Chains A and B, each alone.
Chain A
């Protein structure tokens, strides 16, 4: 951007606290017309909070909010929409029961002069827009029937083509396959050239550097750096994010790593011939004590369903599970837990009790071990405190409501609940999604620690780095079937992506 262009949006001295915990402290932020502005920072650094202020989600903050040179203040998301600001949130928010076209035009369906929806026009325009974005689907099909990755793309498309002049994307690429990311970036650049301002939040620093004009770094509720993307590089950004030289943590796995030979320890879980409707076809594998099995595949490859079968939430149409050699058919998740299986789903919202204190979140899965009839709150707090300390959960206050913690810390709590009485088999879905470098590193250490203690671990992820950093053995799922197993051989990100 040429210097001296007046910013379309300017925030000054923004401070925002949640229940006494300051998420933003005196942050200045400016967005120029026709720029892609990358935001990086660890979890809880304040990026999402700032963007939610811009999008009208949070209305009580202190500081000045200047749009088009005039000080203003949104009271709701609707105000922000009216001002031409739209945001794609980290978590999917679509209407699965409506058609693709209705989702694309959610909130501003084309109507004729009598106020009736013009279905044909809506379907045609939705189809055209999605095609420009490289998505070729029937606009009248039900959105919920499409793979999750595609749903996310459609949600992004809705916001991109809503005509908004400021678009905020919070972690848009986490669920997308590489070609989908390419298409997204091409579209973003075209919109920028047409004059739209875009804010792009991501943990993938390469993505930020590739697509942004300007990059702002947040740390601990403050803005610590703002620079042109061309003038910086990945190590410098990581250094700014973390505060000291920890860039070695960010493994890129472009080089080969060596998977160890299979161990001789006993098989903890054997799955054979698992099939489920359209999601899974004849999936068989086993996992041994002291081993981490990685299951990799693109979004919609059947991982989520597989994980839910392992934890007794879904019943397979065919196939069977054996725990330590004994056939098991789980009738509920409680049965799976009693058989020694622990499960962390990919979405924190599905895993945690946001209105309850941290200690209740941690003790819930082990309550029957520490109390038969009456609760023992002091014992619960003790167990929780130990986990909080071991997993370095911050703030280290077990009586704080879970909702007050940042995303990465919440994710650690989701893991902590299983560790007081270690299970035999730990099933982790996307254990590092949306986590910053430091928290990822913590999780990797926790998992390695558990493996050393003899636990069997299954890690399911759509992020190659996650699988590569954790797994001893990797199987690749494609459209519900196992297409490749990597064991006792050299592997790199390229080869893994190639197999999927």
Chain B
């Protein structure tokens, strides 16, 4: 706070505890997910001796990497108060495409088009960027709500996947992708490093660039952004493309990580990515949150998934518990929004 303020606010000393309360309330969105994470971690550490080990921490990091890469782009989209339901399908089709353009073993029965590794990667990236552009076009030029547009894109991407693999499974991907997806350097999996770098990159873009500010402003009040002379459609279109490309990268590395490319391989990643972003405290109403929140959300989901394995819970119950945690996070999300609005009134 600047010094100018103390002139206008009477008796600042008397107000201090109140200020702190106000600050805590306005930061509720960031504090609550972090507390959730600490509670979950504490619970599993107490419940299972094998949970809180360095090895297992590595496991968790690896398990959340693909979701993390996809969630980077989704964070941009949700900050703009839009949604992208096509991320998992785009990840899948990009992973399949990169395999499609790679020479497969002779027993793989796919009519594929072998190319040099770099060309396969570029073509796969171009494919996901193109699908993102189609999303952007539908949303901004035609004016289809993102929920519906990306729902259609989910089917379109799944359809392309189906046509490429025709029910078969491909295994080979270009060497670079194999390296980044399934090998380690100095004991740290490359995929964790890639996820960390992408999350860092996303954070830097959102926090320190003009484009990042525009994303927050468009999410905060789209009308005001437009009346401030921002090109809102360009910004919305950009986040849809960013989301698709992040999903595509996640898909390529994911295929290398799993060791195969096939239909419906990424289906669970749609819900996981949305959950990670929202559980972390990024507002579904736009304008609030960020990559930091997404990272906390990723860890909440990662710790939950991994921890439930360690305490030997009925795997069918696991699904229910995940659903309940997601519900709790959504409740907190809406509640934090309301608290903040009341503070800002």
Please report A residues at the B interface, Cβ cutoff 8 Å. 17-22, 58, 311, 313, 332-334, 336-338, 342-345, 349-356, 360, 364-365, 367-368, 371-375, 394-401, 403-404, 417
Contact = CB atoms under 8 A, between A and B. Distances in A.
Nearest to A363: B213
B10 A352 contact: no
Interface stretch (B74-82, B118-126, B181-189, B222-230): B222-230
A334 B231 contact: yes
B217 interface: yes
Contact of A352 (B214, B224, B340): B224
17 contacts: A20-B22, A21-B9, A311-B227, A311-B229, A313-B226, A332-B233, A334-B231, A338-B229, A342-B229, A351-B224, A355-B288, A356-B216, A364-B225, A367-B213, A374-B208, A374-B210, A400-B5
Contact of B210 (A375, A395, A397): A375
A375 B10 contact: no
A16 to B, nearest CB: 10
Contact of B230 (A334, A352, A355): A334
Contacts of A349: 223
Interface of B: 1-2, 4-5, 7-10, 15, 18-19, 22, 208-210, 212-214, 216-217, 220-221, 223-234, 287-288, 340, 343-345
Contact of A395 (B5, B209, B221, B288): B5
Given A18-B343, A395-B5, A397-B2, 5 more contacts: A334-B230, A354-B221, A356-B216, A360-B213, A403-B344
Contacts of A332: 231-234
Contact of A353 (B221, B340, B343): B221
A334 B5 contact: no
B210 A367 contact: yes
A341 B291 CA distance: 35
A10 to B, nearest CB: 25
B344 A19 contact: yes
A367 B109 CA distance: 55
A398 B2 contact: yes
Give 7 nearest A-B pairs by CB, closest first. Answer: A337-B229, A403-B344, A334-B231, A395-B8, A397-B5, A396-B4, A350-B223
A356 B217 CA distance: 8
Nearest to A336: B229
Contact of A18 (B213, B231, B345): B345
B227 A333 contact: yes
Contact of A368 (B210, B217, B224, B232): B210
A373 B209 contact: yes
A353 B220 contact: yes
Nearest to B229: A337
A353 B224 contact: yes
A354 B210 CA distance: 19
Contacts of A343: 227, 229
A352 B213 contact: no
Contacts of B1: 397, 399-400
A401 B4 CA distance: 15
A365 B227 CA distance: 9
A355 B8 contact: no
Contacts of B210: 367-368, 371-375
Contacts of B4: 395-397
Given A20-B9, A371-B210, A399-B1, A354 B344 contact: yes
A403 B209 contact: no
B228 A365 contact: yes
Which of B22, B212, B224 gathers the greatest number of chain A CB atoms within 10 Å?
B224
B220 A356 contact: yes
